[in-house]
Structure 1
Amino acid sequence: MKDINLQEICKELHIYEFGIASWPLPEQAKTILFESNPCPFTTADVEARLLGTTQFMPKSAIVCLFPYHVQHKGHANLSRYTWSTDYHLVINEYLERLIERLQIIDDSAQFSIHCDTSPLADRYMAYLAGLGFYGKNNCFISPKWGSYVVIGTILTTLELKPNTPLEQSCIGCNRCITACLGQCLGHDEFKFATCKSYLTQKKGELTDEEEQILAKTPLVFGCDVCQEVCPHNKDIPTTPIPEFQQIEPYININELETLTNKEFKAKYGHRAFSWRGKKILMRNQEIIDRKNKL
């Protein structure tokens, strides 16, 4: 096991919260991660989520949390996680810098970065690394930063001392379950089909019931309701990450109509909502306007 002062390195790189999960994952991981009806945006293959990488056999996972909460009382029509630069881009830059530092210590070590775009189960990895716990709102909750966090993981051949999961848990107030616009929480499994966040990203025509759910708040992408009512998010600090401090909570839908797809990508390609394209955003605004005029 290498003598690596990861605490000091992460502090220098402004990575404010990290933990270590051992590898391979626990035997019960397959049962925990299995979903009979997984969301289409989640990899359904549990084996792929357990594998992590085929490039090498990892010995440890360095799991990092990146808080993104910023106080804002003005108008917004986008979910908070999309207010600033796409977190995938930001996290990759931070983790690449961390790998560069670790390679100086051990140039034979291997690494792979995972941030929401690979099958690896991000929330479960963060739980194993002792960084927080699951909420009834299906979010991962950090004791310090609440649920307004995104997760990045480095799988590595370095053998690092693992942390243990926290004993702390969601207080179980059920406010998220009551407030959920589509009542998709509080079941044995997350009922993604009536989640507003999912519906704002779903392609094709929506049913009247789906449109009714989508139109309950002004957001044209995502939904923060279950996080806004969560007591674990009360009085959490503002993100210390500069890339997440510069926010644009509102997108002008009328302007999108004048942009070509190429122009849209050029202007908004660095934002986390851009992958779905402008037509979905325009559709969502049309539904919200139409339903609220009835």
Structure 2
Amino acid sequence: MGTPDFMPRSAIVCLFPYHVPYSGATNLARYTWATDYHLVVTDYLQRLVDELSSTNPSELFSIHCDTSPLADRYMAYLAGLGFYGKNKCFINPIWGSYIVIGTVLTTLEFEPNTPMTETCLGCNRCISACLGKCLDHNEFKYDTCKSYLTQKKGDLTNNEQSIIKKSPLVFGCDVCQEVCPHNKDLPTTPIVEFQSIEPYVDIEELESISNKEFKSKYGHRAFSWRGKKILIRNNKYIDSKTLQKK
């Protein structure tokens, strides 16, 4: 869903935390451990819209999760829900950066919130830990971010392969979030759909199943959109005996 076909007066911005304590092996970024957040967020926002519509039948609503014509993190900042970290993540004081953002644009008019005065601690741990050193610049150098590279199509250069090799994740990267002090001792997500986790995908299984079988089994996961071939490719550059500890 892209730009709404009406002129919004307000944006309702919601955070959906997904952190679940876990110290075992994984080869996937945390945000992909449970049901695809796009499905979960859209479902919850639809429930909210249904409630608002029941009492405001003449008003219009448009649900967005990674599809907003407006910048999600900036909207969340304006809504007073958190602040920016040096790792370019949006950080909430309670839920840290393990959050996804959902937005409802509406013709309803609400009094705006005030941005927080709290800021990132500025410890620079994320900058030092970044596998591709993509935070060492004035601007985020996305093309050396491991998360980006694990989703990039086609052949990878030797340097890109070496960045992927630096951690066991075949999809995404959590390093800059794992070292962040704002993510220390976080509570478990209250969202039931995010509480049941599968932190590991069996690459040998992926090699033995068809694309149709892959979509049938993993189509509800946030890593599935890129397809199994990319995951298999990434795994070639990783020592499968070394699994990330969370």
The 8 Å contact of residues 68 and 103 in structure 2, kept in 1 or not, is answered as no
In 2, Cα distance between the equivalents of 1:201 and 1:258? 21
Letter in 2 for 1:83: W
Higher RCO (Cα < 8 Å, 6 or more apart): 2
Residue 122 (structure 1) aligned to one of 72, 89, 92: 72
Aligned to 2:58: 108
Aligned to 2:177: 227
In 1, Cα distance between the equivalents of 2:12 and 2:136? 31
In 2, Cα distance between the equivalents of 1:245 and 1:172? 30
Aligned to 2:31: 81
In 1, Cα distance between the equivalents of 2:136 and 2:121? 14
In 1, Cα distance between the equivalents of 2:70 and 2:225? 20
TM-score by length of 2: 0.95
For the pair 1:178 / 2:128, whether they are aligned, the reply is yes
Q: CA deviation at 1:260?
A: 0.8
| CA separation of 1:119 and 1:281: change in aligned 2, threshold 3 A | farther
Aligned to 1:40: none
In 2, Cα distance between the equivalents of 1:199 and 1:217? 12
In 2, Cα distance between the equivalents of 1:122 and 1:192? 18
Letter in 2 for 1:288: I
The 8 Å contact of residues 14 and 103 in structure 2, kept in 1 or not, is answered as yes
- Matched position secondary structure for 1:255: helix
Residue 132 (structure 1) aligned to one of 71, 78, 82: 82
Q: CA deviation at 1:240?
A: 0.5
Aligned pair count reads 240
The 8 Å contact of residues 114 and 120 in structure 1, kept in 2 or not, is answered as no
In 1, Cα distance between the equivalents of 2:40 and 2:130? 29
Residue 42 (structure 2) aligned to one of 86, 92, 111: 92
Structure 1: 5+ residue stretches without partners: 1-51
Aligned to 2:150: 200
Aligned to 1:257: 207
Q: CA deviation at 1:196?
A: 0.4
For the pair 1:148 / 2:98, whether they are aligned, the reply is yes
RMSD: 1.2
| CA separation of 1:259 and 1:119: change in aligned 2, threshold 3 A | farther
Q: Deviations over 1:63-96 (max 9, x none)?
A: 0000000011111000000000000000000000
In 2, Cα distance between the equivalents of 1:186 and 1:212? 18
- Matched position secondary structure for 1:257: helix
Q: CA deviation at 1:161?
A: 1.2
Aligned to 2:193: 243
- Matched position secondary structure for 2:238: helix
In 2, Cα distance between the equivalents of 1:53 and 1:155? 10
In 2, Cα distance between the equivalents of 1:147 and 1:287? 28
